Structure 1
Amino acid sequence: MNIKNILLVSPMYRDLQALIENVAPHKTFRFMPEEGLAQEDISWADALVSFNLKTDYDYSTVKWVHSLGAGVDRFLHKKDWNQEILLTRTICSFGQRIAEYCLSYILKDLQLHDRFQEQQQQKHWVQSTPKLIGEQKVLVYGTGEIGQMIAKVFSGLGVDVYGVSISGKEKAGFKKVMTVDSHFSVLDEVNYVINTLPLTERTERLFDGVIFNQLSNAGFMNVGRGASVDEAALLQALNVNKVKFAVLDVFELEPLPKSNPLWNHPRVQITPHISAVTTPSEGAACFLETLKNIDENRALTNRVDTHKGY
């Protein structure tokens, strides 16, 4: 594949330009924010590098699209993709970042931070015993790179980590991996549920009343995609204590509208899609490695199966 003209569209385009342009002098680049993007720029390009563009564009003239994030649903979900166009994604420290993000909220729960903070405000001295993380069961939806890193970190702390995937194929770090259709029997046993799944037709609204109603006061964390969750079903599950608390980093609409009731729920923690940010240095490094592999006709470990959506 001959890649000469490369269009890079990102809010951090200036940082990426400083890291990339001089490293690949044999290529011609355009770096810009989305506000300055026109269809003519895409028509000029052999390759588009971007993530989560707000407008639908015609990519039929490019040879390669590279996502600066782990997700590619903005390019694929409910869209017809030209199978002749190569699609790759960024692989970097996402797994470690998300594992630490989720671990922080689980430890906060087990160590009774909120209870002791409230007692401090009331000047009450009442002892309660925190729980041990090694006594917990965690169910992770998605057993790819991110899910496997969560399993590695948590199992290293003695946690029983169960996984859910489309195939149900066993993966390192998981005590057991089940399919989406065969995992319901463990739902009432787990203490925490973590969603890392990509958005596909199969995962859209996956977390509905059927799943939430089988939980037994479990914590729920969504670091995958917002559209995987039926928000009304989640709110109902919170209100009847099927879900103990929810930590939500991703939403179907971002920024989350101020009118959304999730903002005001006392047992919902909202973060602004920061559990696995792409830093300029990591984004540039993955892009340059992928570009080199394409130029040298090497295998691409970050190639997306556009039929599966990940």
Structure 2
Amino acid sequence: MNIKNILIAGDYESYFKNYLTELKHYNLNFKLIDNISRDDLKWADVYVGFEPSQLLQPSDVNWVHTFNAGINNYLTLEGWEESNALLTRTISDFGQKMSEYCLSYILADLQNHKQLEAQQKEKIWDKQAPQALKDQTVTIFGTGQTGQTIAKIYSALGMIVYGISNSGLNKPYFQKVEKLEKSKGLIQSSNYIISTLPFTDKTKNLFNQSLFDTLNQAYFINVGRGQVVDLEALKLALDNDNVRHAILDVFEIEPLPTNSDLWHRKDVTITPHISALTDIDEAVTCFYQTLKRIENNESLQNQVDFERGY
């Protein structure tokens, strides 16, 4: 791949300072996304940024790298197959971050935080023993790098960890991995369900009424993509006690509209897509490491597979 001119969409020059010496053989152009012109895109061999310029076409460049882990905003561009342009995404410690996010809510649930807060307000001294992590079963939808990191941490804490994936192939740190169509027994036995799934044609509304009906008063946590959950089906599952509480960090429309009735439900916890925020320093490092691997003709772990959608 011929790489000489690199267009970075955004005022990120200060974040590249640690790599400017290594990148001295390249021409770097840092430009606010709204100021990017067709001439800039014709000049560039590489486009880098959190989101595509409205003028960007895959045929403009040889390689696009997104600072995000998700790539849905780039997949809306037409012409990827015709251009043969490379698309890569940022991979970082998202699994570590998501595992801590989810664990904070799991522990709060097991340690009866809400009940204890209510008792304090009423000056009630009533002991109820917390439940132990080692007695809990969690099923993680998505057994890729993120899911495996979560499974590694939770299994080390003594939890029984199951996985659901397209292939159903066993992966490290999971006691068992199944395809969705064979997973009814795993799901029914789970205390906690965590979705790390990306948004693809196969995962859209995967959490529908049929799937939620399988749950047995489970705690549901979504840190993947909002589009994988049918919210109306989730509300019904909450009403029917198939789901006893939902932690939702991602939504199809963000920010979540103020007129959504989810804001008012006591059995729903809403967070503003913060379970695994992309750190710009990590994103720049990932870009640089990807560039070096391309230079050395090495395989890329973060190359997007357009057929799979991630």
TM bin, normalised by shorter chain, reads over 0.9
Q: Are 2:36 and 2:53, in contact at CA under 8 Å, matched by a contact in 1?
A: no
Give the direction of change, closer, same or farther, for the CA distance of 1:78–1:141 in structure 2 (3 Å limit).
farther
Structure 2 counterpart of 1:98: 98
Structure 2 counterpart of 1:44: 43
CA distance in 1, matches of 2:157, 2:54: 43
Q: Are 2:38 and 2:55, in contact at CA under 8 Å, matched by a contact in 1?
A: no
CA distance in 2, matches of 1:148, 1:52: 27
Structure 2 counterpart of 1:62: 61
Partner secondary structure for residue 154 of structure 1? helix
Q: Displacement of 1:37 after TM fit?
A: 3.7
Give the direction of change, closer, same or farther, for the CA distance of 1:34–1:266 in structure 2 (3 Å limit).
farther
Query: Residues 214-260 of structure 1, C-alpha deviation per residue, up to 9 Å, x if partnerless?
Result: 11111111111111111111112112211111111111111111112
Q: Which aligned pairs between 1:282-297 and structure 2 lie closer than 5 A?
A: 282-297=282-297
Partner secondary structure for residue 81 of structure 2? coil
Q: Which has the higher contact order (CA 8 A, sep 6+)?
A: 1
Partner secondary structure for residue 247 of structure 2? strand
Q: Does 1:256 align with 2:256?
A: yes
Q: Displacement of 1:20 after TM fit?
A: 4.3
Q: Are 1:77 and 1:200, in contact at CA under 8 Å, matched by a contact in 2?
A: no
Query: Could you tell me the percent identity over the aligned residues?
Result: 44
Q: Are 1:140 and 1:162, in contact at CA under 8 Å, matched by a contact in 2?
A: yes
CA distance in 2, matches of 1:88, 1:183: 32
Query: Residues 57-113 of structure 1, C-alpha deviation per residue, up to 9 Å, x if partnerless?
Result: 422221111121222222226965326111111111111111111111100100000
Q: Does 1:71 align with 2:76?
A: no
Q: Are 1:13 and 1:33, in contact at CA under 8 Å, matched by a contact in 2?
A: no
Give the direction of change, closer, same or farther, for the CA distance of 1:178–1:55 in structure 2 (3 Å limit).
farther
Structure 2: give runs of 5+ residues left out of the alignment: none
Q: Displacement of 1:287 after TM fit?
A: 0.6
Give the direction of change, closer, same or farther, for the CA distance of 1:110–1:245 in structure 2 (3 Å limit).
same
Aligned residue pairs: how many?
A: 309
Q: Which aligned pairs between 1:114-125 and structure 2 lie closer than 5 A?
A: 114-125=114-125
Query: Residues 259-289 of structure 1, C-alpha deviation per residue, up to 9 Å, x if partnerless?
Result: 1222221121111111111212211111101
Structure 2 counterpart of 1:225: 225
Bigger drift between 42-51 and 170-179 goes to: 42-51
Q: Does 1:81 align with 2:80?
A: yes
Partner secondary structure for residue 221 of structure 2? strand
CA distance in 2, matches of 1:297, 1:144: 24
Partner secondary structure for residue 140 of structure 1? strand
Bigger drift between 79-88 and 293-302 goes to: 79-88
Structure 1 counterpart of 2:214: 214
Q: CA RMSD in A?
A: 2.0
Structure 2 counterpart of 1:307: 307
Structure 1 counterpart of 2:195: 195
Q: Displacement of 1:302 after TM fit?
A: 1.8
Query: Residues 23-51 of structure 1, C-alpha deviation per residue, up to 9 Å, x if partnerless?
Result: 41211222234343444433332111223
